[in-house]
Homo-oligomer: A and B are copies of this chain.
Amino acid sequence: MSEKLEPLFASLTHGIYVVGVAAGGRKNAFTAAWVMQSSFKPPMLALSINPLHSSFALLKAGGGFTVNVLRSGQKELAMHFGTPMVGNKLDSIAWREAARGAPILDEAMAWFECELAGECPSGDHVLVLGQVVNGGLLEAHASPMNYREVAAEESAKRLLPGGFRP
């Protein structure tokens, strides 16, 4: 996306989430902003993901994903899962497994477990649809993080690659 378009697209409102995937003993998690609800009945979430990301293959192989909602102020956690690194990003973070193995972060304010229910190409991304089969509100009075909290910092922008930065 051209720099000229950035201020326009910055008027859209997105949260900050850590999406978890698991298949065949492998697990991963990555920061994502392009998540929204897409159905009431059944309750579903839509996630736009870069299909070149290694987690996309894990998501498909595992047939589902978790969505961990970050709360306002958890910038470090957002950056941790939004920055490429050597080794597994989950090693230094407290988490447990959802029923199908994808990670639920102890520090998330809420989490959803989704079964893969469809997908649809969308330009350089793929829209993945997940039917919500389980979930929990861990901090009922917390305020969810808004993407603007990290977008405003130049250091955050530099660290966060395409999959994360609108």
Contacts and interface: CB of A to CB of B under 8 A. Distances in A.
A74 to B, nearest CB: 13
B37 A166 contact: yes
A84 interface: no
A interface secondary structure, majority: strand
Contacts of A38: 34, 48, 122-123, 125, 127
Contacts of A12: 15, 35-37, 45, 69, 144
Given A38-B127, A120-B118, A120-B129, A8 B166 contact: no
Q: How many copies does the complex hold?
A: 2
A41 B144 contact: no
B123 A39 contact: yes
Given A48-B46, A123-B38, A125-B38, A11 B109 contact: yes
A123 B69 CA distance: 22
Interface string A102-115: 00000001101000
A13 interface: yes
A14 interface: yes
Nearest to A67: B12
Given A7-B140, A38-B122, 9 more contacts: A5-B132, A5-B135, A9-B37, A12-B144, A13-B145, A42-B123, A43-B123, A117-B122, A127-B129
